[in-house]
């Protein structure tokens, strides 16, 4: 199975900003599906200090070819100064679901 699909991970500070990004990604055909996972606890180092916060996690399913557009949209609309944007290739998956993913976003990739 090829890795033409990806899951982009992005955390948001609140549900409103997460939902706004999710809707925009779907409305602009950059993603086939965006899951909003509420209340993840993040620990990280920021400006020399260890921080911890409650965040909302977005799981953005899309074509790999859509990554530049997804990153651009997140950077333009995200409330964080330095948002997490990490793409993980989908190495395997149910063929029917991947066919649906393929037909549900704008990329011309197969």
Whether 108 maps to a domain, the answer reads no
CATH number at residue 78: 3.30.70.120
The SS3 assignment for 94 reads: coil
Confidence check: pLDDT of 2 > 60: no
Expressed as residue numbers, the domain containing 42 is 5-103
CB 105 within 8 A of CB 28: no
Which residues make beta-bridge pairs with 65?
none
The SS3 assignment for 56 reads: strand
Whether 110 maps to a domain, the answer reads no
- Rounded-to-integer distance, Cα 30 and Cα 26, Å: 6
In 3D, which of 69, 71, 73, 77 has the Cα closest to residue 108? 69
Number of domains the chain contains: 1
Lowest mean pLDDT, pick from 27-31, 36-40, 41-45, 106-110 = 106-110
Whether 52 maps to a domain, the answer reads yes
Full-model pTM: 0.92
- pLDDT band of residue 108 (cuts 50, 70, 90) is low
């Amino acid at each position: 199975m090829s890795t033409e699909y990806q899951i982009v991970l992005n955390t948001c500070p609140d549900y409103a900003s997460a939902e706004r990004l999710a809707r925009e990604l779907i409305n602009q055909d950059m993603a086939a599906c965006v899951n909003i996972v509420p209340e993840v606890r993040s620990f990280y180092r920021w400006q020399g200090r260890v921080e911890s916060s409650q965040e909302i996690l977005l799981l953005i399913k899309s074509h790999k070819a859509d990554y530049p557009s997804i990153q651009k949209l997140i950077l333009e609309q995200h409330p964080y100064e330095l948002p997490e944007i990490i793409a993980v290739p989908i190495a395997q998956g149910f063929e029917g679901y991947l066919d649906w993913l393929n037909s549900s976003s704008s990329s011309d990739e197969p």
